[in-house]
A and B are shown apart, each in its own frame.
Chain A
Amino acid sequence: MSGSARFGVGLVIGVLLAWGGARILDNGGSVPVGGSAPGTTAESARSSLVPWFEVGEVLVESTLLLPRGLSVENDVAVLEYELAGLSPALGEAEGIAGSGDVVVLPATWVLTTTEGASVEATTGPADRRVRFELPIGATVDEIQLIEWRVATPLGDRVELPVESGASATLRSGQVRIATVLDQSNSTIVKIDVRGLGGEWEPHGNPLPLDQGWRAAGPEGDYQLVWDGADAPDQLVLEDTAAAWRPVQGSILVYAAEAG
């Protein structure tokens, strides 16, 4: 073999070695074996990010899901977890020390058994454990989070006549004027708000844009007072609510091979 041919062979070997090395480094320094530890998947934090709180955390938008153990008993699998937020908090946030507000929450999970069966489970805002009912005798292969909810604030402005029974629809519910009490030197408007619930956060009171109105009273059942005899005929209310909007994806939280 000539020197040029040997150089060519060496060049090819060098390229292959370099590319292969890059693949191995990209997998956290180990060759993929078909499984990974919680929070160290190719998706979740890419396994190459320095953790925010602890090794094994799983990044879900601005929330870190911290697995606290999987137990399987009587064909029921329970994964316990904590949540830590990276969002700014006004005042001290609850939960993990150093955590900010949690504005992204896990919602729908799917567990896959080693036999290939899939089991779905859902969790709510206050949950810190997810429970799967397994087929008899099944063992857990992996758990993925396939839907999470993101808090999104939304503003509404509605205009309604200042008269008893007038109502308007908000994205998050309905606002209705229950009574209008005209007095000699003021007008008092009693307002009911009915929230839709569901994905919507508990509701504050929609407030008038016109600063001439004074608002008072508990959430959902309050009154507006206009001092003077010149109360406007129309009322514009500004509402702010927040919905937990679902986002679909696929984030590996637990894989059996890595324990």
Chain B
Amino acid sequence: MSGIDFEELFKSPLDPPRDDQRDWRPLLFGVATGLLATAVALFWLGDDGSEAADATTGAPTTATTSGPLAEALVYPPGYVEIASDLAAKPVAIVVGDDAIQVCFVTVVARGSDPSASNWPLGGSWFLEAADGGVAASERVVLYRSSPGIFAVEFPLSETLGPATALRRVTMTSRWDHTDVSGTIMLPYDGTPFTAAEPVSADVGDGVSLTLPLVELGRYQGSIEWNVTGPAPQGARVIIGATLVDDAGDVIGSYGDFPSLLEPGHDGIIDVTWQEPFRISQEGTAAVRIDYTVGIVEVTDTEIGLDLGDVPTGR
């Protein structure tokens, strides 16, 4: 078949006269070659045979992918990293009257702390249809569970209609932020409390946080804020208020439900009296305002996620 004379190939001057019926060396060489060639082929094809195994065992199939034996995946199958230690997967496409929203679920990298707070605040996205239509994102929709979930909204247009098959979504820039935290102390003059005048704090890089209005009632309050200075994309601002006595001990705090707020240049934060719930606010000597300001820093990216298998609904 091959024309190779294996008898000659394996022949050595030191070989004793051989009995052809008992010479298994060509067979063993063949086995070794077969093992090696198949292993190399499987390796290069990236095939550990799982699909064939599924078909023969009738195992249930979903959107998971196979991996090497006992692999410690950083993210579950199907998730694509969109930021350091954070990956996303599109899970639904929702077509509305005038917009398409692509909904995502995110996961943290194996070993990362899910309660870390420095997750990106959004980004700019690009939607591609199977027929070539494209659209740039209008906004990122955040909710209470964000960034565990978020949606990106794209406008419907002549080139991107409600029945258009979608191919891919690409994040072209990411809104990162570095948090700066600080405290402002205000003298307390009774409940309901209203700050006598606007207060400001320097949060670095020439950016100032100003609180034009601080109002704290018995159970809830309202704090207006704005950022000025070189922050073209705005900032994510978190503010809480704590009542303290003469010794600096905490009497009670006002806060907000923790959520990933959309960045902006101004806003109003409604706060409520937090647990442990205390009816009395007697003994209050000062109001401590705690703030965290994350100035948005735009990072260019080119991260694409396929939409071919993502379910579409209204």
Contact = CB atoms under 8 A, between A and B. Distances in A.
Report whether chain A binds chain B: yes
Interface of A: 3-4, 6-19, 22-23, 25-29, 32, 41-46, 48-50, 52, 59, 61-62, 85-93, 98-101, 103-104, 144, 150-156, 171, 201, 211, 214-216, 240-242, 245, 247, 249-252
B61 A153 contact: no
B297 interface: no
Given A32-B57, A251-B62, A103 B69 contact: no
Nearest to A12: B34
A45 B66 CA distance: 9
A92 B113 CA distance: 10
A50 B72 contact: yes
29 contacts: A6-B30, A9-B30, A10-B30, A10-B33, A11-B31, A13-B30, A14-B38, A17-B35, A18-B34, A29-B69, A41-B60, A42-B50, A42-B53, A48-B71, A62-B107, A87-B106, A87-B145, A88-B116, A89-B115, A103-B145, A103-B148, A150-B105, A150-B149, A151-B148, A153-B141, A154-B94, A154-B101, A242-B145, A250-B60
Interface in B27-42: 27-39, 42
Q: Name the prevailing secondary structure of the A interface residues.
A: mixed
Interface residues of B, number: 88
B150 to A, nearest CB: 6
Nearest to B116: A88
A6 B26 contact: yes
Q: Which of A19, A87, A215, A251 has the most CB of B within 10 A?
A: A87
Contact of B37 (A8, A15, A25, A41): A15
B141 A61 contact: no
Interface of B: 1-2, 4-7, 10, 23-24, 26-39, 42, 48-50, 52-54, 57, 59-64, 66-73, 76-77, 79, 86, 89, 91-92, 94, 96, 101, 103, 105-108, 110, 114-117, 119, 139, 141-151, 153, 222, 258-260, 266, 268, 270, 311, 313
Contacts of B54: 42
A158 B259 CA distance: 23
Contact of B34 (A6, A11, A52): A11
B94 A17 contact: no
Contact of B64 (A18, A46, A211): A46
Contacts of A22: 38, 42, 48-49
B96 A27 contact: no
B107 A150 contact: no
A101 B64 CA distance: 21
A101 B148 contact: yes
A3 B151 contact: no
A88 B258 CA distance: 12
B34 A99 contact: no
A121 to B, nearest CB: 18
B249 to A, nearest CB: 23
A48 B60 contact: no
Closest 5 CB pairs of A and B: A14-B34, A10-B30, A100-B114, A87-B148, A18-B38
A255 to B, nearest CB: 11
A150 B63 CA distance: 15
A43 to B, nearest CB: 5
Which one of A22, A52, A150, A155 has the greatest number of beta carbons of chain B within 10 Å?
A155
Given A25-B69, A153-B150, A247-B91, A240 B141 contact: yes
A17 B31 contact: yes
Contact of B92 (A41, A49, A152): A152
Contact of A18 (B42, B101, B103, B270): B42
B29 A19 contact: no
Which of A11, A87, A88 has the largest count of B CB atoms less than 10 A from its CB? A88
B114 A7 contact: no
Nearest to A239: B141
B108 A86 contact: yes
B76 A103 contact: no
Nearest to A59: B76
Contacts of B49: 19, 22-23, 26
Nearest to B107: A86
A50 B73 CA distance: 7
A151 to B, nearest CB: 5
Given A9-B30, A14-B38, A154 B60 contact: no
Contact of A3 (B6, B86, B94, B149): B6
